[in-house]
A and B are shown apart, each in its own frame.
Chain A
């Protein structure tokens, strides 16, 4: 009796759809929300190789945080992370926007050729990192050769082992990875601007630059905001490139927070430290995500 009632509930009415949502949400709660909370808990505990297996660990208060702030590498890594995010997004967005505008023009095969760029998005970042490592190679690398042929540099640049260049090498590879996604999203935004707005402006005598500044940019505002927010989120996820190119070296010159957290947990086994960095970074990512979701939802309600 009870069983047939349950079957009926699942087959009909709201029960079916409700169950579908609950199943997925439950999975996400166990494998995403729970670890999220657990990492916050661990950032207030002493966690190392000895207390790893126990559930009840000594409470550490804020010492994990104060220890972290007093480490000599803390400030440089925070600074690196900021440079990494800012430069990556600035160039991904500019190049992606320029390409999106270019491919908006009417010529044969434009959609197909534009789609070819997505090859960069679909390749595993670790493999992309391996290929860029070969391109960046100091003595026989093709990048140094190209720059020398163009007369831009004289000697060899040791991209990955010179502390002055290591971070920028990772950023260059990351810009390469991010261009296609930016371009595709911005293309969608551009396609949404009605053509007659441009025609009207053209009849009023507005030139290309005026049309870009007075029509394209303002109408692309919401899309640009969403793309920047997604850019921050994706850039803070970038781990594989750092692992393939520099492993944060030399001497943390190219280390960023998301890699540092992993290094502490899995290479030096300072698990509290890793959890503490993770807590702060996750808080940052969630703030950006909430801003992004709310702006997209407000957009849709119009």
Chain B
């Protein structure tokens, strides 16, 4: 009996915590007249699905596409450079490896809003700002790469060393042992960390806001922020926009919830 009472409390806490998410979708279903009622309706009395209207009106597809492109680029660079480095750092011993790991962890904490000034000036010198989405990808990947290496390294340390040694004894090269033995074993950890990197990049704001001047190339965060400051009373439109934007994120989260929690807890403190 006590156990079910605890569950009831747990659900109550979760419901209170997640109220903002509920409120976003509840508002998205209201009419533009009914949101200006006071007291507010906690449940939309005449729900109205306006998703497709808002989607077309604000050309949301274009901006979501930009976000998708940017997030894919960031994730690709991060996985390509990060996986091998995480593996090597999980194996390596000695002063050089310690310095490399230390560098990775410290560079992970640099706030993008502070790094954006020198990056902007440097990218301006070399002409990268003519390719603003590439500039966003390159800058953000420096941030996600460090995060990815730290988490993936924890995954690789869990793969027993003996397996690699056995593969080497069997005549594999280091290259072969990595691709044929180690990578398949660490696959789950790598995939979950990549999903986390992708989801984070999908919501990137600082670099996109600062590097992308052309409206057509903006990501959804930047476009939503512009809309937010220009039409701050159109809450129905804004909450529809926000709801559409985060729907894929929430779906991935619900599907992979357990693995995400495990992935985060295994590497975050190490």
Contacts and interface: CB of A to CB of B under 8 A. Distances in A.
Nearest to A264: B117
Interface residues of B, number: 102
Interface of B: 3-4, 6-7, 9-11, 13-14, 17-18, 20-21, 23-24, 27, 35-40, 42, 77, 81-82, 84-85, 87-89, 91-92, 97, 100, 102-107, 109-122, 124-125, 138-139, 141-143, 145-146, 149, 173-176, 178, 199, 202-206, 209-210, 221, 224-225, 228-229, 232, 235, 238-239, 242, 245-246, 249-250, 253, 257-258, 260-261, 264-265, 268-270
B265 A31 contact: no
Contact of B249 (A33, A122, A188, A237): A122
A302 interface: no
A5 B253 CA distance: 47
Contacts of A79: none
A293 B17 contact: no
A184 B91 CA distance: 27
A244 B206 contact: no
Interface of A: 10-13, 16-18, 20-21, 23-25, 27-28, 31-36, 38-39, 42, 47, 52-53, 55, 99, 102-103, 105-120, 122-128, 130-135, 137, 139-142, 145, 149, 176, 179, 184-185, 187-189, 223, 226, 233, 236-237, 239-240, 243-244, 247, 258-259, 261-262, 265-266, 271, 274-275, 277-278, 281-282, 285-286, 288-290, 293, 296, 300
Contact of A20 (B24, B87, B104, B146): B87
Contacts of A244: 225, 228
Contact of B246 (A53, A124, A139, A275): A124
Given A34-B122, A142-B42, A262-B116, 11 more contacts: A16-B174, A18-B88, A24-B84, A25-B104, A27-B81, A31-B138, A42-B117, A127-B242, A239-B205, A262-B114, A293-B106
